Structure 1
Amino acid sequence: MQRLLNAASWDADGVRDDVRDYAVEHLGERDGVLVVDETGFLKKGTGSAGVQRQYSGTAGRTENCQLGVFLAYATSKGRTLIDRELYLPKSWTENRDRCRDAGVPEEVEFATKTVQARQMLARALDAGVPAAWVTADEAYGKDCKFRTWLEQQRIGYVVAVACNQTIPAAGGTSRADALATHAPDDAWKRRSCGDGAKGPRLFDWAVASLPVYEDTAPPG
C-alpha cells in the first residue's frame, strides 16, 4: 500500500470517480444524503502538504495537523465516502517552493473549505449522484454563499448555524436563538442521531417557514 501511495503512478481522481460510481450502483437512492465534513490528521513535522498549527475537530483544539474536507453519501442501504480534498492554507499556497517539495501540483491554488465542499458537491451532482439533501455543520452552514449555492442547485439542505446567525423572519430578521424561543412547545420533536462515545446523541428539532429570497443571497 505504501508503494502504491508513494511511488506508483496512478490516477487518484479516476479512482475517486470509480469509487463514487460503485457506491451509487450499490447504495443509490433518489432521497440520498450528501454529507460534508472535515477531519484533522495530527502531525509531528512540517513537511506534509498542508500541515500547520490549526484547529482540529478531531483533537478538539489547535494542533499541528493536516485538514481534509470529505464528502460522504448516505442512504437507507448504507453510507460511504465518495470524495475528498486536502485543505491547503495560504501559508502553503503562497510558498510554491514548499508546495513543490511536498508534491503539490503547480495549478493548485488556495481555496477555502466551503469552496472545496462546493467543488465536491458539484462533481457529485454533475455525475448524477441521486440525492435530495445536503448536510453540513456550522463551519459550512455559516457561509451564506454556500447556502445560496445549494439553493441554486435546487437541492434541500440541513446545515448548522451559530446561535447569533441572522435569519430572515416575518417583518425583518432575527437571531437564530431568538427565533427558536418563539416556537411552541408542541413544535419540538426529539430525534436520535445514534450512539456516540458518551452515549445516545439526542437533539430537539422544530420546523419553521421562512421568507424566500429570490436571486440574492440572504442576509447573514
Structure 2
Amino acid sequence: MAAVHSIDPARWQDRFEVLTGRAAGRFARVEPRRRARALVLGLLSELPRKNCWTLAEHAGGATPDGMQHLLSRARWDADAVRDDIRGFVVEQLHHNDAVLVVDETGDLKKGTATVGVQRQYTGTAGRIENSQVAVYLAYSTPGLSGALLSFVKYLHSA
C-alpha cells in the first residue's frame, strides 16, 4: 500500500508562489505571466475537463481568448520556464536515486475537434486509430511513492 502524505495548504501555496516568482521574468508582459499561473492552477484543479474554455472559466475569464493567446501567440521563453521548474524540483525534492519517468500515452478520440487528434498509431489500441497522443513527465523518488510532478508536453508545443 502506498504511503499517504498530507499536504499543508499554506506551505504548498508558499512553494507555488516561489516557483511562479522564479519563472516570472521569462514572460515579456505581466498578463501572460498571470495567465500562465492561472493555467497551472487550473491544470492542477479537479476540473472534470481541461481545455482553454474550462481553464479560462476557472480563472474567472469570460472567454478562452486569453488562454489561447498564451499558448499560441504570447511571448515567453518556454525553455527557460522548463529549466526553472526543473531547478526548483531538484532543489525541493533532490534524491540521489530519483528518476525522470517519460510516458507517451494515447487517448482514443471519436471526433477531430480536440487539438492533436488524428489517425495515428497508439499503444492504447495497438493499432492506428483516431487518437490524441500526450507525453507526460514525472519526477519520482523511492521515498515518495509514484509521480510527484506531471507536465503535459502540449504546454511547450501547443
Above 0.5 in TM-score? no
Higher strand share: 1
Is the radius of gyration larger for structure 1 or structure 2? 1
Shorter-chain TM-score tier? 0.3 to 0.5
- TM-score of the two chains, using structure 1 as the length reference: 0.31
- TM-score of the two chains, using structure 2 as the length reference: 0.41
